[in-house]
Amino acid sequence: MSVLHPSKIRNIAFTGHSDSGKTTLTESLAYAMGLIQKMGSINAGNTVTDYHSDEIEKKVSINLGLINGMWKDVKLNILDTPGYLDFVGDVKSAMRVADTVVITVNSVSGIEVGTENVWDFAMQKYKPTMFLVTKLDRDNADFEKVVNKLKEYYGHYVVPVQFPVDEGLAHKTIIDCIMMKALTFEPGKKNSMVISDIPERYIARAEELHNELVETVAETDEDLMNKFFENGTLDEEELKEGIKHGLVSRTFFPVLCCSPEMSIGTERLLDIFSNLCPSPVERGPEHGWITNSGEDILIQPDESAKPIAFVFKTSTEPHLGEMSIFRVYSGHIDPGMDLVNAETHQEERLNQIFTLVGNKRSEIPSVGVGDIGAVVKLKNTHTNNTLSAPGSEFHVRPVEFPEPVIRVAIKPHSKNDETKIKDGLYHLHEEDPSFEVHYEAELAQTIISGQGEMHLDVILKRMKEKFGVEIDQEDPKIPYKETIKGKTRVQGKYKKQSGGKGQYGDVWLRIEPLPRGTGFEFVDEVVGGVVPGKFIPSVEKGVHERMGRGILAGYKVVDLKVTIDDGSYHPVDSSDMAFKMAGSIALKKGVLESKPILLEPIYKVTIKAPEEYMGDVMGDVSSRRGKIQGMDADGHFQIINAMIPLAEMSKYQSALRSMTQGRGTHYREFAHYEEVPFEVAQKIIAAYKEAEEEE
């Protein structure tokens, strides 16, 4: 395939709730464009874009899938995204590089949580957006009901430009209000569209929608508005340009319809995508910044400029290694090029370059500006990295991946697998940055975090399949802290005689609390040499080590001031070790005398849920010892801001989805530490003592 001018390229992301038809639509388009000879199905596990074993097993999209093909003289890059919120990272990656977002809506189910989420993402990134109502050949399909809901939720700029005839099993005809024609398809046959005049009984509805379309499009541009007032309508070319302008300015959101499983509407969709979706040129420049100076720039889609490519997806393919999928924002990318990674400043040699149709790769001679390609075996380039010409390093604005909402602790099933696990988790994070891993040194646990239980289940399954290791799960420990509320002065004496030289250390310590978050302060107020200066650091070391081991329940002691002001020593038996032990003994005794308490991490939690579920959600927050800080309205949703102890947040996302029929989401971030309620603290301390006794 030769390099195309960017005006001949369309980058389109299919998004929407799970089971709204994205993968089947992609399959139908691939069939119509001649990329495959027969349509596969999700149930059969043989679709172009759902080819991974976990997708075939679960019968859902888990990874971003990509196809590309020519329709007439235009190249379409179609990005098929997962519908489950657990895999939202790939949705954001696809939407980042797409010039048009198509939100699929199931004609039976209507607006669902996935619809709402991808609409929010598209709005945040100012992406041209279309709605596509699917599965009109199903029982209980209701196009008008869906359209009315879309208008109610997203405003009067949502305008149907097509409507179906005979929804349900008899469905095979669509009325197109742009062409003002009836389009009839032979179910299951590709490129079978027959164009005819609109049947008389549908003319009034078609004219009503056509007029709504013309008026809405005219509102998007002053010149078009003047022409509309002069002529009372817009001609086909004016309408086409107005639709593009309205899409780019997000003042027009067309609603299309199809039944992809039966290839009804597919051929017309390809025409609409080719003729009405904006090209990279029409979308305009990309935001970025210069690496060295940090100066913001606009990267123009210029064929003759220096090459700039952005890696938006990394995957590890069997027998191939790591593959980086990129979009070119300037110039062109050729095999053999040496480019510089703007993040690592390391040079990368690009060898073979491919275009993708699912898991099938085709080697190509070049990837032009605005187009999407893939390269394998880059040394140190991953998702969100920008590659550009040496001496002109640029950053393209990165994908903003969501914060994790679920945590699980893991440990190797076999100790011999520790290195494999570390390497495997690193590679899986590079593939999917919405999955995170870190080691909690204080708690001696490796914690993996993600977007939901299914997300982490898939990660652990891939660890076994790709890296040959099994991992055991356990609950993450809560990083409690210990501190004091009172003051005391205590003696710590360590004296040991064993026939020869003995051990002797004696100190007096004042122990008092410090403000929350201050840490630790050690003060030397010894006078007269009652404790020789050379032993003072050993006392401090003993205190510090004892703080690290904890006293009440084995958690680190924080926020206290320790002052050594007296003591005694033996000229022969005193040693660093003896004074270290004396400091440790005094610290333990002093903490227990100073009203010790446990502290727990409190998280600021933002919960978004439909208004009708507010009672259940707020009741659940209270049951988790949460404190509601306030509420805000967001369309049909309510936003709850709350403070909730981390100890009460286990599997919260799953519980929230259950309470809200899948429509609730939440985000969390650490806020501060607070005192653990007495009754809860006693249970934690008792469990610690019981565990100690068992050991």
Confidence of residue 1 (pLDDT cuts 50, 70, 90): low
Based on the domain organization, do 530 and 417 belong to the same domain?
Answer: no
Give the CATH number of the domain where residue 38 resides.
Answer: 3.40.50.300
Q: How far is CA 242 from CA 207, 220, 232, in A?
A: 18, 7, 15
| Domain assignment of residue 691, yes or no | no
pLDDT digits (tens, 9 = 90+) for 588-620: 999 999 999 999 999 999 999 999 999 999 999
Based on the domain organization, do 278 and 290 belong to the same domain?
Answer: no
Based on the domain organization, do 265 and 303 belong to the same domain?
Answer: no
Q: What is the Cα–Cα distance from 478 to 481, expressed in whole angstroms?
A: 9
More confident residue, 597 or 452: 597
Structural domain count, the chain? 5
Checking DSSP bridges between strand 503-513 and strand 488-496, what pairing results, if any? antiparallel
Mean pLDDT for 223-239 is 81
Residue 552 confidence (pLDDT) above 90: yes
* The amino acid at 593: E
- 8 Å CB contact between 282 and 348: no
Decide: helix, strand or coil at residue 66. Answer: strand
| Domain assignment of residue 688, yes or no | no
Q: Which domain does 320 fall in, by range?
A: 286-396
Residues 6+ apart with CB under 8 A from 528: none
Based on the domain organization, do 279 and 291 belong to the same domain?
Answer: no
Closest by alpha carbon to 161, among 119, 120, 213? 213
Last-in-domain residue among 225, 248, 283: 283
Based on the domain organization, do 256 and 315 belong to the same domain?
Answer: no
Instruction: Return the CA Rg of the chain.
Output: 32
Give the CATH number of the domain where residue 647 resides.
Answer: 3.30.70.240
pLDDT digits (tens, 9 = 90+) for 382-429: 999 999 999 888 899 999 999 898 999 999 888 888 888 888 898 899
Residue 29 confidence (pLDDT) above 90: yes
| Domain assignment of residue 582, yes or no | yes
CA atoms within 13 A on the CB side of 661: 9
| Domain assignment of residue 236, yes or no | yes
pLDDT digits (tens, 9 = 90+) for 624-651: 999 999 999 988 889 999 999 999 998 8
| Domain assignment of residue 155, yes or no | yes
Residue indicated by tokens 């076994």: 464
Mean pLDDT for 435-444 is 90
Q: What pLDDT is stored for residue 582 in this prediction?
A: 97
| Domain assignment of residue 375, yes or no | yes
pLDDT digits (tens, 9 = 90+) for 180-203: 999 999 999 998 999 999 999 999
| Terminal-to-terminal C-alpha distance of the chain | 68
| Domain assignment of residue 632, yes or no | yes
Residue 79 confidence (pLDDT) above 70: yes
Confidence of residue 662 (pLDDT cuts 50, 70, 90): confident
Q: What pLDDT is stored for residue 2 in this prediction?
A: 67
Confidence of residue 167 (pLDDT cuts 50, 70, 90): very high
Based on the domain organization, do 513 and 461 belong to the same domain?
Answer: no
Give the CATH number of the domain where residue 328 resides.
Answer: 2.40.30.10
Q: Any idea what the Cα angle at residue 629 is, between residues 623 and 633, rounded to 5°?
A: 105
Give the CATH number of the domain where residue 420 resides.
Answer: 3.30.70.870
Closest by alpha carbon to 283, among 176, 417, 125? 125
Q: What pLDDT is stored for residue 443 in this prediction?
A: 85
Q: What pLDDT is stored for residue 642 in this prediction?
A: 97
Buried b / exposed e along 263-279 (16+ C-beta atoms within 10 A): bbbbbbbbbbbbebbbb
Based on the domain organization, do 173 and 203 belong to the same domain?
Answer: yes
| Domain assignment of residue 401, yes or no | no
Based on the domain organization, do 420 and 366 belong to the same domain?
Answer: no
Based on the domain organization, do 321 and 381 belong to the same domain?
Answer: yes
Q: What pLDDT is stored for residue 499 in this prediction?
A: 67
Last-in-domain residue among 239, 261, 283: 283
Closest by alpha carbon to 391, among 307, 311, 331? 307
pLDDT digits (tens, 9 = 90+) for 123-163: 999 999 999 999 999 999 999 999 999 999 999 999 999 99
Total count of residues recorded for the chain: 695
Last-in-domain residue among 369, 396, 423: 396
Supply the mean pLDDT for the chain: 93
Based on the domain organization, do 511 and 542 belong to the same domain?
Answer: yes
Based on the domain organization, do 363 and 425 belong to the same domain?
Answer: no
Based on the domain organization, do 493 and 466 belong to the same domain?
Answer: no
